[in-house]
């Protein structure tokens, strides 16, 4: 576990996600959680050593299965965007480990079994300010990466937890995205307001720099341009696969992960193209 600011820690060793914890007077505030049972046990033991109060608060930065599978096992109050509640209502009550080829990290691991989802106990629409200690934790809606995406802002510590707004060294999830809104959120992140922030944390890759943010923006602008060109030529859903090689040039992945990341991109592109260009206004499909 790495301390990036006073009483603010991140853990990058778990599969799938970088998770965080903020030491506070009432008890630890968690940013997402691992999804494998053995990692959840390790994480719970780790945060118990931080001291402070006995209460725990868990902030989910969106509803993706990689970050919500382990929530019930954490046994604490959960905070998330109000749209998360709608997403959970549309899911089967119990998760079953049946990979769909969407490129989610949990699909790479066996032994997950089945578990009941844990919807958020506290929700908000635009902004929520939490005082779990003397300093504020500001949760803000972050349009673009997924329905119900948020970021967690600690202005006093100059720390920002981004969720999947910036995905480092791997393709992002696109099926539930709104790319124009995503690009606008990245432009906001690049504004002078956040230039002073020393620690910007991606859920997929840990600490990121301004260069990573700009690269994410260029990638999404490229996706938007390629899909618009396909739509102008009245291309079918299956033809989006033709743009994958060009988009994969943004990343240098190991051979072991390349097929998985290509599947993620293929799944996301096909469903995004279908939803935004072929069946405009249809409900987004989860990844």
pLDDT in tens, the chain (287 residues): 899 999 999 999 998 899 999 988 888 999 999 999 999 999 998 988 776 667 889 999 999 999 999 999 998 999 999 999 889 888 877 777 666 778 899 888 887 778 888 899 999 999 999 998 889 999 999 999 999 999 999 999 999 999 999 999 899 999 999 999 999 999 999 999 898 898 999 999 999 999 999 999 999 999 999 999 988 888 888 889 899 999 988 887 655 678 888 899 999 999 999 988 887 655 666 66
Range of the domain at 44: 2-278
Residue 110 domain flag: yes
Number of domains in the chain: 1
Whether residue 284 is contained in a domain is answered as no
Which pLDDT value is given to residue 280? Answer: 64
CA–CA distances in Å: residue 231 to residues 100, 246, 270: 26, 17, 12
CB atoms within 10 A of CB 277: 17
Residue 235 lies in a domain: yes
**CATH of residue 181:** 3.60.15.10
The pTM score is: 0.90
Does residue 285 fall inside a structural domain?
no
Q: Are 176 and 274 in contact (CB under 8 A)?
A: no
């Amino acid at each position: 576990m790495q301390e990036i600011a006073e009483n603010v820690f991140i853990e990058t060793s778990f599969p799938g996600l970088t998770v965080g914890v903020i030491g506070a007077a009432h008890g630890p505030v968690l940013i997402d959680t691992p999804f494998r049972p053995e990692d959840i046990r390790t994480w719970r033991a780790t945060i118990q050593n931080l001291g402070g109060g006995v209460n725990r608060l868990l902030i989910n930065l969106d509803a993706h299965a990689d970050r919500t599978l382990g929530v019930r096992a954490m046994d604490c109050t959960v905070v998330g965007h109000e749209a998360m509640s709608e997403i959970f209502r549309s899911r089967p009550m119990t998760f079953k480990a049946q990979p769909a080829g969407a490129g989610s990290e949990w699909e790479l691991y066996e032994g997950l079994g089945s578990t009941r989802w844990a919807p958020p106990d506290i929700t908000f629409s635009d902004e929520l300010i939490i005082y779990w200690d003397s300093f504020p934790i500001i949760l803000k809606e972050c349009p673009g990466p997924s329905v119900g995406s948020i970021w967690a802002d600690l202005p006093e510590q100059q720390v920002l937890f981004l969720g999947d707004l910036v995905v480092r060294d791997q393709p992002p999830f696109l099926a539930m995205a709104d790319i124009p809104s995503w690009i606008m959120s990245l432009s906001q992140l690049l504004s002078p307001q956040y230039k002073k922030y020393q620690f910007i944390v991606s859920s997929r890759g840990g600490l990121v720099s301004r260069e990573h943010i700009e690269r994410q923006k260029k990638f999404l602008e490229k996706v938007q341009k390629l899909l618009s060109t396909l739509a102008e030529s009245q291309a079918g859903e299956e033809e989006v696969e033709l743009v994958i090689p060009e988009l994969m040039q943004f990343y240098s992945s190991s051979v072991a992960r390349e097929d998985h990341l290509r599947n993620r991109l293929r799944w996301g592109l096909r469903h995004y193209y279908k939803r935004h260009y072929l069946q405009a206004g249809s409900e987004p499909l989860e990844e």
